Every structure is written in C-alpha cells, then in structure tokens.
Homo-oligomer: A and B are copies of this chain.
C-alpha cells in the first residue's frame, strides 16, 4: 500500500479515477489543506463505511492519496505534485469536473 505514482500504470490510474465516488474524494481533498481531513469526514458520501474504506485503499494504491495516523483517526493528503508529474493533465480534468448529485 501507499504506492508512489511513479510506479503506477496508466491502466491503474484510469481504473481508480473512473469511479465517481473516488473522484469526489479527490476533489474534496483538493479543496482543503494537507492532513486536514480524516476519513470520517466523508460520511456524507452515499456509500457505507466499509465501501468508503475500500475507495481510500484504491486511491492509496495508485499513489493519489497518502494517509497518516493521528490518534484514532487517519488524516489524508492528496499527492498532487507527484501525481501531476506522473500523469500531467489528468488531475486538473478531475478537479474541474462539475459535481454530480447526490
């Protein structure tokens, strides 16, 4: 887990980003400072807690996300520069995507 974007294939990156829930996670993380949002603050997303945990694991697996333990919670950071370097242009497409409801 916690792969570096450098070692990630385009296939894996596209698989990870083709899920709308994961793109919402990425967008929300892009809008806040690093290490400011634990996983629990994403409970408004319309999926179960275990499913959310799965999505975070996928994002970690492609190097889009970094997580750090702080007490009982797990803080998140978007590895934006690293990912931009590996897949230039891809993240901006996700971040400018209009939100879909709910």
Closest B-chain residue to A97, C-beta based?
A: B10
Q: Quick one: given A89-B93, A90-B89, A93-B87, are A17 and B14 in contact (CB under 8 Å)?
A: yes
- Contact pick for A88, options B10, B20, B87, B89, CB 8 Å: B89
Query: How far does the alpha carbon of A15 sit from the alpha carbon of B88 in the complex, in Å?
Result: 19
21 CB contacts below 8 A, A to B, read A10-B23, A10-B93, A10-B94, A10-B97, A11-B18, A11-B20, A14-B14, A14-B17, A14-B18, A15-B18, A18-B18, A87-B93, A88-B89, A88-B92, A88-B93, A89-B89, A89-B90, A89-B92, A89-B93, A90-B90, A90-B93
Mark A residues whose CB is within 8 Å of B. 10-11, 14-15, 17-18, 20, 23, 87-90, 92-94, 97
